[in-house]
């Protein structure tokens, strides 16, 4: 059942059928990492009608993060999960965010994200991405990852591939932040693609 409790939801409800909007409101999105990918992906999903999030990140916002992450100077020094929670609930006061200010491990992921319907990997390092794969092996849920988004240009190389039955990988699968800096355009594109895949899954739009 659709619950429209504020002017934001009233405004965006016209873009969906009643059943689709209800699905969006009921879905729980689990995001691991609240940096460039996680913050931008979460904002895209919030603007699309997603109400429920589980987000973990132990880091604080730094001024250098502002070149690509969905934060503002007044957020510097705050925990990213707290700043992101404020941003999401400012977009839609009906949003709920369960936050964890801790470093995830392959052992802690299943318990923290048990209630999530879709898992989104938003880490920077290859080691963290490997940890995501190991930690979610037993979790039968759609998993949306990113591999290769650093640098500037060639944004059409950021494609989406499905691996097996439940893993989606977005990126060029070659560029590494160890070799090229992450910049707003490609990070934002990859994060938006993650959100688009999640929405396609929720609304059963036949995402390959």
Domain boundaries along the sequence of the chain: 7-202
- Helix pair 36-47, 184-202: axis angle to 10 deg: 50
In this structure, what token pair is assigned to residue 16?
């969906």
pLDDT the model gives residue 149: 76
pLDDT the model gives residue 176: 62
- pTM for the whole structure: 0.93
Cβ partners under 8 Å of residue 81, min gap 6 = 34, 55, 56, 57, 97, 99, 100, 101
pLDDT the model gives residue 172: 79
pLDDT the model gives residue 170: 93
Q: Is the dihedral of CA 134, 124, 146, 63 positive or negative?
A: positive
Residue 21 CA to residue 186 CA, distance in Å, equals 29
Residues of the chain with pLDDT under 70: 1-4, 175-180, 205-208
Instruction: Specify the DSSP element, H or E, that contains 160.
Output: strand 159-163
With beta carbons less than 8 A apart as the criterion, state whether 135 and 129 touch: no
- The domain made up of 7-202 has a fold known as Rossmann fold (3.40.50)
Residue 28 main-chain phi, psi, to 5 deg:
-110, 125
């Amino acid at each position: 059942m659709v619950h429209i409790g504020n002017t934001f939801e009233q405004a965006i409800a016209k873009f969906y059928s009643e059943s689709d909007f209800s699905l969006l409101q009921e879905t729980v999105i689990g995001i691991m990492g609240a940096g460039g990918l996680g913050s931008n992906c979460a904002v895209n999903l919030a603007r699309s009608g997603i109400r429920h999030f589980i987000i973990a990140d132990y880091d604080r916002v730094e001024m250098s993060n502002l070149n690509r992450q969905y934060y503002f100077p007044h957020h510097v020094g705050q925990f990213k999960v707290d700043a992101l929670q404020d941003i999401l609930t400012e977009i839609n006061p009906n949003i709920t965010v369960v936050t964890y200010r801790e470093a995830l491990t392959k052992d802690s992921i299943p318990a923290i994200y048990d209630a999530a319907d879709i898992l989104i990997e938003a880490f920077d390092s290859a080691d963290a991405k490997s940890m995501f794969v190991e930690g979610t092996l037993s979790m039968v849920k759609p998993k949306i990852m990113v591999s290769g988004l650093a640098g500037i240009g060639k944004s059409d190389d950021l494609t989406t591939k499905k691996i097996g039955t439940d893993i989606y990988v977005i990126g060029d699968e070659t560029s590494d932040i160890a070799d090229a800096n992450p910049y707003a355009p490609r990070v934002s594109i990859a994060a938006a693609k993650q959100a688009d895949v999640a929405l396609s899954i929720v609304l059963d739009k036949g995402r390959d």
